[in-house]
């Protein structure tokens, strides 16, 4: 198909259709349908093939976006999937969960006036279709070096590191304490954003490529780092950030108050029929009034999980206004469509409890945005006398995460910064203060995004290859 230079005017941006609200409110299934071949071709044809593509520049892995859009416009799925995998180890995941409105699509030349090209949906389409056609990465020309690297954590950082290593003849052996690969892709991000089969399929693909997985294996408990250092040529740590942040509210440990991540992990394990663990017991919000505190992607995931579990009322309470919410605008819109209520410009003061110590509500106070600080950011200021109680049978705290302690790393000479993050500078190929240990993803940069974890895992693999002279 030849490109129509006026396609961006002739054809509006169209997103893939969503499932009906009746389904979305009760089922843990992806809400977006995939694009058809004709929709992908037509939407890809809207791209202007900019000489200096901002979309590509803004993408943390610098995907060759206009090039694969052109290939899709020409119907060349197999060429597009090869190109897409040159920069990204999990493009079908990024196509589903990246906040494109803040990254590639937000920077698309067409965004302001005509509507950005639907980059994310086409990215997903490419790999989904290629897999359906039986495509697999071709490693037949790769010469094996005989070297083996241990990877701690099967999240996007660890998987991306494994992908680059195996393509360069080094055998990665990936250790994870969970029963399935993916890290937060499987056990954090709910199935209505990312179907759990996507990672199961990726595990098969990676295994066929030569990546070995040792699941249900926790480093520091089931196996020791000293043994990995003795057995492997190098070690990569992509262990994420798992300490939930709290607000220090009165009664925040009361019965009926939950941390976001254990709530989401347990729900996913429940759906996938994996065994529950003591640190993440299953919580059912059926027939409860739920208040979620926080305004990021995790908060939105908790809101939408509670709705699907059958909560009678779900309210998200956030301290700034809607325009200043940190998460993806797309997910806020989806939560509203599914029936979530929002309280903006409010700050929690304490958890209200009854005489048996169970939560009955959250005492809140209204805020307004103060004068801009030196960076132009306006902080919320309390409005005196505006206190009120938001009734609740369950409260979910979604204030974000900070790095958890990893004494098993510190014991081997790995340094951490004052915020608990592993020090592994990009300029040193993500090598830590122990020359044999590399690190990347949330454990190094603090909790962030799937695509930044992938970017760091890939770059760390390059650092490891340099170190091994492989
Ligand atoms: P993780 O994904 O956390 O993976 C770390 C892995 O290491 C885990 O599997 C863990 O089990 C394993 N591990 C840790 N310690 C050990 C040990 N000692 N032994 C063995 N295994 C170990 N980002 C987006 O871009 N889009 C989104 O929509 C989005 N939604 C999110 C929703 C939620 C609820 C959360 C919590 C995060 C979300 N994020 C999102 C952020 C994104 O998921 C993370 O930034 C990303 O997964 C970080 O990747 P990682 O590989 O560094 O760590
Ligand atoms: Fe195409 Fe938009 Fe990227 Fe330009 S910025 S190359 S129009 S996707």
Nearest-CA residue for atom 5 of ligand 2: 108
| Ligand 2 environment, Cβ below 6 A | 47-50, 53-55, 65-66, 108-110, 117, 119
pLDDT tens series, the chain, 470 aa: 455 777 787 889 999 999 999 999 999 999 999 899 999 999 999 999 999 999 999 999 999 999 999 999 999 999 999 999 999 999 999 999 999 998 999 999 999 899 999 999 999 999 999 999 999 999 999 999 999 999 999 999 999 999 999 999 999 999 999 999 999 999 999 999 999 999 999 999 999 999 999 999 999 999 999 999 999 999 999 999 999 998 899 999 999 999 999 999 999 999 988 888 888 889 999 999 999 999 999 999 999 999 999 999 999 999 888 988 887 888 999 999 999 999 999 999 999 999 999 999 999 999 998 888 888 877 889 999 999 999 999 999 999 999 999 999 999 999 999 999 999 999 999 999 999 999 999 999 999 999 999 999 999 999 999 999 97
| Ligand 1 environment, Cβ below 6 A | 97-98, 152-158, 175-178, 183-185, 188-189, 193, 218-220, 238-240, 261, 264, 297-298, 301, 441-443, 447-451, 453
Nearest-CA residue for atom 4 of ligand 2: 50
- pLDDT at residue 3, rounded to an integer: 59
Distance between Cα 122 and ligand 2 center (Å): 13
Q: Is the ipTM of this complex over 0.90?
A: yes
Nearest-CA residue for atom 40 of ligand 1: 449
183, 326, 422, 438: residue to mutate for ligand 1 pocket, most atoms within 8 A of CB: 183
- pLDDT at residue 9, rounded to an integer: 79
**Can you tell me which atom of ligand 1 is nearest the CA of 241?**
3
Distance between Cα 239 and ligand 1 center (Å): 8
- pLDDT at residue 58, rounded to an integer: 97
| Whether the domain at 7-132 and the domain at 244-400 fall into the same CATH topology | no
CATH class of this structure's domain 148-241+403-468: alpha beta
3-state secondary structure the chain: CCCCCCHHHHCCCCCCCECCHHHHCCCCCCCECCCCHHHHHHHHCCCCCCCCCHHHHHCCCCCCHHHHHHHHHCCCHHHHHHHHHHHCCCHHHHHHHCCCCCCHHHHCCCCCCCCCCCHHHHHHHHHHHHHHCCCCCCCCCCCCCCCEEEEECCCHHHHHHHHHHHHCCCEEEEECCCCCCCCHHHHCCCCCCCCHHHHHHHHHHHHHHCCEEECCCCECCCECHHHHHHHCCEEEECCCCCEECCCCCECCCCECEEEHHHHHHHHHHHHHCCCCECCECCCCCCCCEEEEECCCHHHHHHHHHHHHHCCCEEEEECCCCHHHCCCCHHHHHHHHHCCCEEECCEEEEEEEECCCCEEEEEEEEEEEEEEECCCCCEEEEECCCCCEEEECCEEEECCCEECCCCHHHHCCCCCECCCCCECCCHHHCCECCCCCEEECCHHHHCCCCHHHHHHHHHHHHHHHHHHHCC
60, 102, 153: residue to mutate for ligand 1 pocket, most atoms within 8 A of CB: 153
Ligand in nearest proximity to the CA of 192: 1
Distance between Cα 452 and ligand 2 center (Å): 21
Distance between Cα 401 and ligand 1 center (Å): 11
Domain segments of the chain: what residues?
A: 7-132, 148-241+403-468, 244-400
CATH class of this structure's domain 7-132: mainly alpha
Q: State the pTM of this model.
A: 0.95
CATH class of this structure's domain 244-400: alpha beta
């Amino acid at each position: 198909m030849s490109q129509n230079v006026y396609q961006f005017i002739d054809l509006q941006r169209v997103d893939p259709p969503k499932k009906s609200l009746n389904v979305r409110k009760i089922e843990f299934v992806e809400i977006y349908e995939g694009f058809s071949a004709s929709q992908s071709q037509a939407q890809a044809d809207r791209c202007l093939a900019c000489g200096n593509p901002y979309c590509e520049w803004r993408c943390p892995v610098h995907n060759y976006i206009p090039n694969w859009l052109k290939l899709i416009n020409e119907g060349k799925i197999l060429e597009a999937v090869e190109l897409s995998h040159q920069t990204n180890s999990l493009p079908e995941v990024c196509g589903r969960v990246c906040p494109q409105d803040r990254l590639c699509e937000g920077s698309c030349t067409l965004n302001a006036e005509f509507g950005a090209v639907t980059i994310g949906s086409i990215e997903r389409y490419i790999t989904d279709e290629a897999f359906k056609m039986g495509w697999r990465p071709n490693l037949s020309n790769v010469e094996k070096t005989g070297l083996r690297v241990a990877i701690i954590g099967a999240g996007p950082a660890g998987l991306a590191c494994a992908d680059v290593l195996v393509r360069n003849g080094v055998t990665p052996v990936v250790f994870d304490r969970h029963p399935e690969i993916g890290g937060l892709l499987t056990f954090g991000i709910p199935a209505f954003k990312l179907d759990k089969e996507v990672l199961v399929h990726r595990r098969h693909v990676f295994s066929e490529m030569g990546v070995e997985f040792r699941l249900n294996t926790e480093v520091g408990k089931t196996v020791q780092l000293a043994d990995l250092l003795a057995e492997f040529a190098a070690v990569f740590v992509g262990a994420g950030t798992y300490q939930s942040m709290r607000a220090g509210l009165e009664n925040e440990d009361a019965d009926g108050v939950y941390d976001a991540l254990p709530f989401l992990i347990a729900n996913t394990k429940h759906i996938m029929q994996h065994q529950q663990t003591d640190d993440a017991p299953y919580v059912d919000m059926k027939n409860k009034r739920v208040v979620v505190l926080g305004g990021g992607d995790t908060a939105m995931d908790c809101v939408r999980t509670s709705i699907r579990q059958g909560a009678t009322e779900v309210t998200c309470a956030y301290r700034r206004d809607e325009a200043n919410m940190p998460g993806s605008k797309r997910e806020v819109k989806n939560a509203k469509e599914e029936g979530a209520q929002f309280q903006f410009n409010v700050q929690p003061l304490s958890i209200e409890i009854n005489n048996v110590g169970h939560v009955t509500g959250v005492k809140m106070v209204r805020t307004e945005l103060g004068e801009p600080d030196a960076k132009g950011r306006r902080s919320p200021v309390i409005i005196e006398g505006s206190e009120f109680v938001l009734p609740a049978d369950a409260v979910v705290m979604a204030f974000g995460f900070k790095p958890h302690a990893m004494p098993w790393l510190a014991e081997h000479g790995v340094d951490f910064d004052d915020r608990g993050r592993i020090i592994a500078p990009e300029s040193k190929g993500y090598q830590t203060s122990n020359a044999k240990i590399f690190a990347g993803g949330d454990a190094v940069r603090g909790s962030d995004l799937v695509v930044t974890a992938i970017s760091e895992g890939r770059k760390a693999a390059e650092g490891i290859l340099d170190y091994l002279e492989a």
